[in-house]
Chains A and B, each alone.
Chain A
Amino acid sequence: GENVEQHPSTLSVQEGDSAVIKCTYSDSASNYFPWYKQELGKGPQLIIDIRSNVGEKKDQRIAVTLNKTAKHFSLHITETQPEDSAVYFCAVIKAAGNKLTFGGGTRVLVKP
């Protein structure tokens, strides 16, 4: 089955700096790549996603890049703020259906 690896598992950055989280996947049929942010006591919240026909997508301070040849995608957060502290998950979906396969998560701590 699909396997998704996410790195790093923890990330500590100074407020204002950038944070980058990387994921690799195994199934070349995967075509949808969402990122979720999970805060303590809450369910994962969709923050940005990208489809296989696009190489990059940006939404204010967050951006996602996709390299289908290398089968990896990354989340970039610029100008980090304390409220960005959370656990971030990457995920993939194959062409049909809604089954999300998640990476292991990255705990991000933004220090003021």
Chain B
Amino acid sequence: KAGVTQTPRYLIKTRGQQVTLSCSPISGHRSVSWYQQTPGQGLQFLFEYFSETQRNKGNFPGRFSGRQFSNSRSEMNVSTLELGDSALYLCASSASGDSSYNEQFFGPGTRLTVL
């Protein structure tokens, strides 16, 4: 079974630009979550999508947004990039949205550098 895939793997942008990252979950998984990883703040939850609906949201500004398509693939968008948005963005997929089965599997991440 193929794992979680994320594209692109590396991205360089300048301040003020916007960026879109893509995540394809494990086949059959319907829940996709996004995390930001930085040396200073560690791993922080951005949001979760299940069946095309945002179910949970972390404490990030509105510049961070996402969506999920009917095939469970997800995208996240960051508008008006700031230097502090430089991070590894990780996507995790889970088979189910209920509390009885919460194993989450991560992709390799997209390394975003904002200059």
A46-B103, A93-B102, A99-B56 known; A104-B33 Cβ under 8 A: no
| Chain B residues bordering chain A, tally (CB within 8 A) | 26
Interface assignment of B20: CB less than 8 Å from any CB of chain A? no
Residues 61-86 of chain A, each 1 if its beta carbon lies under 8 Å from chain B, else 0: 00000000000000000000000000
In the bound complex, residues from chain B placing their C-beta under 8 Å from that of A54 are none
Known: A43-B90, A89-B43. A99 touches B48 (CB 8 A): yes
Evaluate contact between B108 and A100: CB separation under 8 angstroms. no
> Which residues of B are found within 8 Å of A95, using beta-carbon distances?
99
List the B side residues contacting A43 at CB < 8 Å. Answer: 4, 90, 106-109
Contact present for B45 and A101 (CB under 8 Å): yes
B22 is an interface residue with CB less than 8 A from chain A: no
Q: How large is the interface on A (under 10, 10 to 19, 20 to 34, 35 or more residues)?
A: 20 to 34
Interface centre among A31, A91, A96, A98 (most CB of B within 10 A): A98
A10 an interface residue at 8 Å Cβ cutoff?
Answer: no
Which B residues are in CB contact (< 8 Å) with A36? 106
Q: How many A-B residue pairs have CB under 8 A?
A: 65
Mask of A11-40 contacts with B, CB within 8 angstroms, 1/0:
000000000000000000001101010000
> Please, how many angstroms separate the alpha-carbon atoms of A57 and B48 in the complex?
28
| Interface pair B109/A96, CB less than 8 Å apart | no
Residues of A within 8 A of B (CB): 31-32, 34, 36, 41-46, 49, 89, 91, 93, 95-105
23 CB-based A-B contacts, threshold 8 Å = A32-B102, A43-B90, A43-B108, A44-B106, A46-B104, A49-B103, A89-B43, A97-B55, A98-B48, A98-B56, A98-B92, A98-B97, A99-B33, A99-B45, A99-B48, A99-B56, A100-B33, A100-B35, A100-B45, A100-B92, A101-B45, A102-B42, A104-B42
